[in-house]
Amino acid sequence: MFKPDKVQQQIVSGIREFVERKVIPVASLLEHEDEYPREIIEEMKEFGLFGCNVPEEYGGLGLSYTTFAMIVEELSRGWMSIVGPIGTHSVICDIINRFGTDEQKREFLPGLANGERRGGLALSEADAGTDVQRISTIATRKGDDYVINGSKMWITNGRYGNTFVLAAKTDAKADPPYKGISAFIIEKGGAGFKVGRDIDKLGYRGVETCELFFDNFPVPAKNLIGRSEGEGFKQIMTGLESERINVAARGIGLAQAAFEDAIHYSQLRYTFDKPICEHQTIQNMLAEMGTKIEAARLLVYSAADKKDRGERCDLEVGMAKLFATETAQEVALQALRIHGGAGYSKDHRVERYYRDAPLLVIGGGTNELQRLIIARGLIAKHRVK
């Protein structure tokens, strides 16, 4: 049984109090208006949450992946959208910290840690999501710069962020294609960088998701991560391990919120002269929901702990992401069903959980991809000698 230490308990307690006081009371209103939660984000900045995984020497909190997962869970329990600005931000912090040069770390990590720099990952394209090798954005070396041409899609923090890690082809003829991918730190502003429309989404509202366009956009060669071409695929895939942990943790938080609303409502709603929680059908649903949430939580913490130890964990992270997000979608639906007709209205939060949950199944690498990663990992682990 996982038991958080005293420091983790104090951190989680502070985040939970913040969520109860500042997030839950306004989440539904902001979500329905699709309004960016500026005040909430500013308070998260004051908490230091933009520097969760930035080392203390660069002004961050230097927290473990396990502690970060616990923070994400609590924030998502209040409103999943508020994790977006720090979730994708944490991925680029991880990439720069692991693979950046000392100069790149000194230049970018302090600003990312204090929230002055808001980060995003410019990876997905209209024709390249799960299959990263299909990206068509090109970076061409010209003197002391690389010139970027192409576009990116589904960029969280695209409008309000200012610092991004961008994946582009520096060798379009590389075979296999992933060997031609490089990663760059880019900054918003200047000719050739355009933020397109905000994508109107089913859920995950209140946080912007944008298209980015690059037309001969110059990036200093010194911003090539690690100063080596062709290393971008490895760098970004390693960063996506941390993203999958935080996406899985979002699933736990959303599922926990849906479960809490459902079990509360089931004790207040009466049918046939007794609360519906006393009907066996509802009890079976609650039992399944509670059990799967606890199992998902343990999977996520186990995967995060393995990453904290510096061990390869793509198998465990894939399992955690798959199970936690599928659980979130299932629990959200069951919570809506327990609420009956009331759950289908916007008077209750469960309709929001039901709309938010599918993103988790798709985002951070689709669950269809996770199943392939898991299967390959299991075959390798149990290979016949």
The catalytic site residues sit at: 243
Q: Could you tell me the CA-to-CA distances from 72 to 78, 124, 381 in Å, in that order? A: 10, 23, 30
CA distance 114 to 46: 8
Q: Could you tell me the CA-to-CA distances from 130 to 60, 122, 134, 300 in Å, in that order? A: 31, 14, 9, 21
CA distance 205 to 165: 23
Among 216, 142, 229, smallest CA distance to 180 is for: 229
CA distance 66 to 97: 18
CA distance 51 to 47: 9
CA distance 325 to 292: 11
Tokens of 333: 């639906």
Cis peptide before 176 (omega within 30 of 0): yes
Q: For residues 190-217, b (16+ Cβ closer than 10 Å) or e, as one string? A: eeebebeeeeebebbbbbbbbbbebeeb
Q: Contact at 8 Å (CB) between 288 and 216? A: no
